[in-house]
Structures are given as C-alpha cells and as structure tokens.
Amino acid sequence: MSTNSGEVSVPFGTEAAAVVHALVERDQTLAVVESLTGGLLAAAIVEIAGVSAVFRGGLVVYATELKESLAGVPGDLLAERGPVDPDVAVALAEGGRRRCGADWGLATTGVAGPEPQGGKPVGLVYVAVAGPEGTDVRELVFGPGRHAVRSGAVRGALHLIADQLRGDPAGAVRGGDGAHAR
C-alpha cells in the first residue's frame, strides 16, 4: 500500500516499531511462535528497520503435532485441551524463547475459521508472552472473518509484549478489528 509521499505503509508498523525500539533500548531479543497467524506476526516485526539487532527468528507451527515437536508444548497438554488454550499459548511462548535463545517469546494460537475447531469458536485467540519478567496470556475474541481474526491476533500479541516491556502487564487491549478481551 502506498501513501502520497511515496512511502510504503506497513500494516502493524506503529505497534511493531514500538516493540522493536523498546527491545533495542533494553538490548534484549525476541522470538515468535505462530499458529493461526502463519508468519504474519514475524513479517510485521521484520518490516521495522534495525530489527536484526533484536529478532532471533520464529516458528510457524500450524499443525498441532508441530506445536509439540518444534515448540516443545507438552503432548499431554495438547491431548487434554487441544491447541487453542491459554496454557498452550504460554507453552508456545516459552518454547519459542527457549528454542530460539531469546530473551522474549511471543506466541499466537486460535481459530481463524471458517469453521470452529475442537469445540472452540471462530474468532477465539490466545496471545502469550514469556520473558525476563515472567509470562502473561490474554484471551481475545475477534470477528467476523479470517482477516480480522488473524490481523487482530497480530495486534493483540504486539500490544501484549509492548505492555510487558513498559511494565504494564495488565494493560488494556487497544485497537480496532472488533476485538475484546475476556
């Protein structure tokens, strides 16, 4: 998308830039683990100039079995609760942090649709962060439509880590896309 000034408009640019700049200031690193966002979160982050100083990499674990084998989510947790669960989101964030050797791990899991998954409704998303200050997870609900769910998950994840970096883990969920936190 172009602007009148000839610059390219980056979706999530403001949110991602705030996270990248805060990590640069702290001299800390980030890794992501994504399920329903399928790489969209990493793509938003790597659009920011200077990101190579802080971004270690990430995993796209769309298939449930990859959540266990690549991200280290306990198999019994996945068997008991399924992939769309707050504890699974935390395990994804912790696994990404550990497996990529990063200070922070940021994760997304949820149901983008068009059909419910494992009894979980379309639009239900969990975002989690694991870092030096501990872990946090948020349940978000978006809709309608896959684009709203996936882009809302990216925004929600970026806001979550930004709140942690500011020392405000209970920060309000902001932004559009019809989101609300539970």
Longest dimension (CA), the chain: 53
Alpha helices per DSSP H over 13-166:
13-26, 40-46, 64-69, 75-81, 86-100, 146-166
Residue 133: predicted pLDDT: 84
Structural domains in the chain?
A: 13-181 (3.90.950.20)
Structure tokens given for 154: 């990216």
The pLDDT averaged over each successive group of 10 residues in the chain (182 residues) is 43 91 97 98 96 98 98 98 98 98 98 96 98 96 94 98 86 41 47
Residue 170: predicted pLDDT: 61
Using alpha carbons, select from 138, 162, 168 the residue that is nearest to residue 26: 162
Contacts of 78 (CB under 8 A, 6+ apart): 64, 67, 68, 88
Residue 13: predicted pLDDT: 84
Residue 182: predicted pLDDT: 45
Residue 1: predicted pLDDT: 39
Residue 12: predicted pLDDT: 85
* Pairing mode of beta strands 134-141, 180-181: antiparallel
